[in-house]
Structure 1
Amino acid sequence: MIHERSIAYSSLLAAALFLYGAGAQGQTLRLSLQEVVSLAAKHNRTLKASGIDIAVAQEQRRVARSLSLPSASLGAQYAHYFELPVFFGIGETNGDPDKVAYSRFGGRDQFSAALSVAQPLYNPSAKPAQREAALQEKASRTLYLDKTVDLTAAVKRTYLGILVLNKRLQLQHESLQRNEKALQDARSLLAQGRALRVDTLRAYTSVKNLQPDILKLTKAIEVGKLQLTTLMGLDSLQDIMLTDSLAHPAAASIPAAATVYTEARANRPDLQQLRLQQEIREQGIALAKARRLPVVSLVGQYQLQSQARSFRFFDASWPGASFAGAQVTLPLFSGSSNKARIQQARLTHEQAGIELTDAYEQLRTEVRQVIANLQETFERVQTQTQVKETAKLSYDIIQYRYQKGVASRLELTDAELALTTAQLNYLEAVYDYLAAGIELDRTRGKQ
């Protein structure tokens, strides 16, 4: 009986843990903008792949460093002769003086092992290769930083877009409530014979026109949250809730275009990478020239060899031989490939310089465009704020007049539509202004 109770208790405990885990997996993550940016920086898959590029560049740097380090190799060889090995110059020629005498002797089984060591003394390719590898690693880190800046801007724009969609959805619901109230009033007045049927039809049409917009906004919010979870590197099934709210943008001083250009030129990771690419290709010229120079190395070898009959190496002799010396390798002719590599490296270096100059010119245009967008959207926010307040005041006045029987239903419907339009235009202006600020930070190279 006790055993059955313990089994039942264990089963209930396991079921409770399972339900708790399922509930934990279904929990909604409440995230602020900074938390979303932090999660994206840690878990975004594109950044992880870019981080692997840094590790690859570090390994390439070790490969380049090995050009100046000693190398050692161990080799072995075994051969079985079906006839005894031949040695010329020893033996008889059977009376024919035109033939070279030879004899067969030795073991049918031969084995040799050698340990070879080489230490480069002068390798002209070593320094350029090491500098190039170091610059490649730095370029990989710069590329990672550039992707981080772009990711941060994308996360902020997506987060901001969802906030705007939520606010638009709220406004549409408020408009729907006003129009449903107007429809109820119209139906009541029609039943009392105090209103026309066309007023009821107009109110009914307004209600039905709002419902597809609400559905569209709802689906757009779902898609936006899915994009945000993808940027954060989370499971697409994870539900999230945004805790920040959309606030009226405060007045901010707009920086001068020259200041932004100077800051962007110094801090933009993509521009830094272009400069690094120019330096890398400069080292490519030096590396191509180094392939035409001699390589000097110290070499040494220790060798053991033996011959045996019937594979009896344990009873055979194992004489050793060793040597040490210097080796010089001078390339004389390689089908003009070295000359072509040098010219190719010079052309790519010239190409990098043109790309960098073009990037600087494009940056001037980009900075002016960003500053212009920031100024235009800020002025639009101020204008739409006044329009929204005026539309709200107008709606309140017409609603009061309608309740007093002075204004018509058509006037109230037009005022409600104007209020909704003004509120939506204000939201669009706020989004454009905040997005312009995000683009300004990205242009400056800020995260």
Structure 2
Amino acid sequence: MNNRFHHPVLVCVMAVILFLGTSIPAHSQSAPPDIRPLSLSQAVTLALQNARNFRLSQAGIARAEAERQQIAALFRPQVFTGTGLAATKGFPLSIEGSAPSIFQLSTNQSLFDRNLSNLEKQAGKMRDAAAQSLEEKRDDIAALTASVYLDLDRSLRAITFLRFQSVSLSFIEEMLQQRVEEGLEPPLESARAALETARINSNVVMLENRIAQLDFQLRDLAGITEPVSIETQAVNIPPLEPEQSPDRLYALARERHPGLAALEEEVRAREFQVRSEQGTRWPRVNLVGQYGLFSDINNFSDYFRRFERHNATFGISVMVPVYERERYSARLSKAEADLEDARARLEETRSALSRRAHELWAQLRQQDAALEVARLELTVAQESLDATQALYEEGKVSRLALQQDAAAETRFHIALLDAEFQSSQSRIELLRLTGQIRTTLP
């Protein structure tokens, strides 16, 4: 069992650390806030529930669906009623295309229209693209929340080691100052020790500010309005599986990345847009009907052989485009340009995903190797501190040497925390890239 903290000097140091932790608030507040334990899964769930920018995407989905329904409604009967009652002098002229009537009823339904049918399909695909974009934003929020959470967890752990290192360096500075006064060390050594202490104290202040910012950002993401301080829990992000390769990661990204799926749906929508413009050259067939209740005050009996009060027309209207070449060519060219633009963005996104998959794979391998080095360095530092403590208890080394080894071990603790954080960050990005962020996070 490691007993390096049993020495009176180190016990004193830890007591000072505990005193600092209880008497000096981490967020520079007049009174310490309440503590709220929060797991990573809880933070992500709250962030997804609280995300304000989802409303724009949801509005886009609703808008695209409403447009699709509006076009689809034209293939169902449309019924209108009203009146065209009017006084007539002379021949009964039409009002808005209909004879004057006490009551009128008209209906219209599209039976065949390639332009409208493809527009409906285009709107449906744009709705699907908007839905995939919403899923992409959900993944982005989950990844951002996880990143902030891990950074806060790393910072909260590191601040304890930094404060311990600050106290250790203060002891070293005092010892060196005493040795300088006794003529055992040159004054430069005391100045160097003071500089190291000042650097660590500056890092402590900087990290305290960082913790305050991360705590606020996490509470803002999660929608926590109470003035509480978040207490994180240890998180283990799943490592990269040994059989994974850059090509396999890219295949997963192509299959599951919602941003790529949104672009694929947009390309299909643009294809239907081109077909819609091409469909304007086809005949349009509508089912039409009209009923009118006439009055003889409009002089119908004066100009027609027989007056009929109830009148109805029902049949099929066929419209055949004959010539609109310039207009058709312009609309078709625009639709084809939009399609090419969507295809180009899709190909660029696929290339970017492939590059990013290769980069993350190499980055994770390098970070895992660096993480192993950091673990071994900490192990060596701990064993070195144990050996120095044993020598100190035997009176073979000075207290200065013991404090220097303790400060060195603290630096390796912080280095290990940083290495673990960098590796976890890359894993989170990889999970987001392959569309697994919300299903894999612990």
Relative to 1, partners in 2 of residues 1:261 and 1:58: Cα closer, same or farther, differing over 3 Å? same
Verify the 8 A CA contact 1:124 1:290 in the aligned structure 2.
yes
Are 2:126 and 1:136 equivalent residues in the alignment? yes
Written as runs of structure 1 = structure 2, the 5 A alignment for 1:23-422 is 28-77=35-84, 85-87=89-91, 112-182=102-172, 198=187, 203-232=193-222, 234-245=223-234, 253=242, 255-306=244-295, 319-334=309-324, 336-398=326-388, 407=397, 415-422=405-412
Distance (Å, rounded) in 1 between the aligned partners of 2:168 and 2:159: 14
* Residues 336-345 or 379-388, more deviating: 336-345
Tell me the CA shift for residue 184 of structure 1.
5.7
Tell me the CA shift for residue 306 of structure 1.
4.2
Secondary structure, in 3 states, of the residue corresponding to 1:244?
Answer: coil
1:49-84 Cα offsets, whole Å, 9 max, x none, are: 32332222322221121121111112334557xxx7
Verify the 8 A CA contact 2:35 2:231 in the aligned structure 1.
no
Distance (Å, rounded) in 1 between the aligned partners of 2:159 and 2:80: 72
Distance (Å, rounded) in 2 between the aligned partners of 1:65 and 1:285: 18
Verify the 8 A CA contact 1:190 1:197 in the aligned structure 2.
yes
Relative to 1, partners in 2 of residues 1:318 and 1:413: Cα closer, same or farther, differing over 3 Å? farther
Relative to 1, partners in 2 of residues 1:333 and 1:28: Cα closer, same or farther, differing over 3 Å? farther
Distance (Å, rounded) in 1 between the aligned partners of 2:236 and 2:255: 32
Q: Aligned AA for 1:73?
A: F
Q: How many residues align?
A: 389
Percent identity among equivalent residues?
22
Tell me the CA shift for residue 250 of structure 1.
7.4
Verify the 8 A CA contact 1:28 1:238 in the aligned structure 2.
no
Tell me the CA shift for residue 443 of structure 1.
1.9
RMSD: 3.4
Verify the 8 A CA contact 1:229 1:238 in the aligned structure 2.
no
1:387-421 Cα offsets, whole Å, 9 max, x none, are: 12223333454566567775567756654553343
Tell me the CA shift for residue 157 of structure 1.
1.1
Secondary structure, in 3 states, of the residue corresponding to 2:106?
Answer: strand
Secondary structure, in 3 states, of the residue corresponding to 1:332?
Answer: coil
Verify the 8 A CA contact 1:37 1:156 in the aligned structure 2.
yes
1:128-182 Cα offsets, whole Å, 9 max, x none, are: 1232222222212211222222222111111111111111111111112323444
Q: TM (normalized to structure 2)? A: 0.76
Structure 2 unmatched ranges of 5 or more: 1-32, 93-99, 299-306, 438-442
Q: Aligned AA for 1:426?
A: L
Verify the 8 A CA contact 1:295 1:330 in the aligned structure 2.
yes
Structure 2 counterpart of 1:102: none
Distance (Å, rounded) in 1 between the aligned partners of 2:371 and 2:296: 95
Q: Aligned AA for 1:60?
A: E
Q: Aligned AA for 2:119?
A: A
Relative to 1, partners in 2 of residues 1:396 and 1:206: Cα closer, same or farther, differing over 3 Å? farther
Relative to 1, partners in 2 of residues 1:248 and 1:395: Cα closer, same or farther, differing over 3 Å? farther
* Residues 297-306 or 411-420, more deviating: 411-420
Relative to 1, partners in 2 of residues 1:248 and 1:274: Cα closer, same or farther, differing over 3 Å? closer
Tell me the CA shift for residue 327 of structure 1.
1.8
Distance (Å, rounded) in 2 between the aligned partners of 1:446 and 1:162: 23
Q: Aligned AA for 1:157?
A: S
Distance (Å, rounded) in 2 between the aligned partners of 1:388 and 1:167: 15
* Residues 147-156 or 343-352, more deviating: 343-352
Verify the 8 A CA contact 1:249 1:430 in the aligned structure 2.
no
Structure 1 unmatched ranges of 5 or more: 1-25, 89-109, 310-316
Distance (Å, rounded) in 1 between the aligned partners of 2:328 and 2:60: 29
Q: TM (normalized to structure 1)? A: 0.76
Secondary structure, in 3 states, of the residue corresponding to 1:45?
Answer: coil
Tell me the CA shift for residue 349 of structure 1.
2.4
Q: Aligned AA for 1:69?
A: R
Structure 2 counterpart of 1:92: none
Structure 1 counterpart of 2:95: none
